[in-house]
Amino acid sequence: MSDTANHEPDEATETRDLLPWERWIIDEYWGPIIEFDHEAHARWCEKWAPPCPDGNPQRLRRALGFWERSCCELELRVALGADDLGVCDVIVDEYEHEVYVRVLVCYDPSDEERRRRRDYMDWPVRTWLDHPLGERAVIDIDSDEELPLFIPLYLNNTIQPDHGYRPANRRRRAQ
């Protein structure tokens, strides 16, 4: 049987990355524990999970890819299902080396027949950036993974260049 008062926390516990709504506190035995921060969670939800203006229920959709369609115009590719009513909100947070994105989709929970169908359509969703994308990586906020570049082979019967983009862990290289 172990004595919790003499328990020394391991290094892996203290170096764990915290979620945006968590914080380290010290318990009565002077051990570090993680506490849920309600105020930080409310701020995170206000930014990353705003309610639908039409009052429809929402669900999260991970972007399949991206490309900068024109200067400061970011196009995300999103899989929309049969019961989806469309993209409700695209949340973008820009930093020096990265752009974080999150896509929320409205859906109709009352249509049982459409909800059973498993067909999806790859749909373009455009949003504007404050600054040109340049060499910044586009990161999905929920999975914390870099999105792949998606450039249509032809646009208006013209082959589209990839501008030398290579996804080889741009996040690590930028740090």
pLDDT of residue 143: 86
Give start and end residues of each alpha helix (H) in 4-111: 11-14, 38-48
Contact 83, 114 (CB under 8 A): yes
DSSP 109: T
Q: Do 39 and 108 share a structural domain?
A: no
pLDDT-derived band at 169 (thresholds 50, 70, 90) equals low
Q: Do 146 and 89 share a structural domain?
A: yes
The 10s digit of each residue's pLDDT in 105-156 is 988 777 667 667 777 888 899 999 999 988 888 999 888 889 988 876 666 6
Say whether 171 sits in a helix, a strand or coil.
helix
Q: Provide φ and ψ at 150, rounded to 5°.
A: -125, 110
Q: Do 121 and 99 share a structural domain?
A: yes
Q: Do 17 and 72 share a structural domain?
A: no
* Number of other residues whose CB lies within 10 A of the CB of residue 103: 24
The 10s digit of each residue's pLDDT in 97-119 is 899 999 999 887 776 676 677 77
Residue 145 CA to residue 37 CA, distance in Å, equals 25
* Rounded to 5°, angle at Cα 31 from 29 and 34: 125
Is residue 19 included in any domain, yes or no?
A: yes
What does pLDDT average to over the chain? 77
Q: Which residue range(s) make up the domain with 25?
A: 10-45
Across 20-24, 45-49, 128-132, least confident range:
20-24
Could you tell me which residues come within 8 angstroms of residue 101 by beta carbon, excluding any fewer than 6 positions away? 63, 66, 74, 76, 90, 91, 92, 93, 127, 138, 139, 140, 141, 147
Is residue 109 included in any domain, yes or no?
A: yes
Contact 85, 161 (CB under 8 A): no
Contact 27, 7 (CB under 8 A): no
Q: Do 137 and 92 share a structural domain?
A: yes
Could you tell me which residues come within 8 angstroms of residue 50 by beta carbon, excluding any fewer than 6 positions away? 89, 91, 104
Whether pTM exceeds 0.85: no
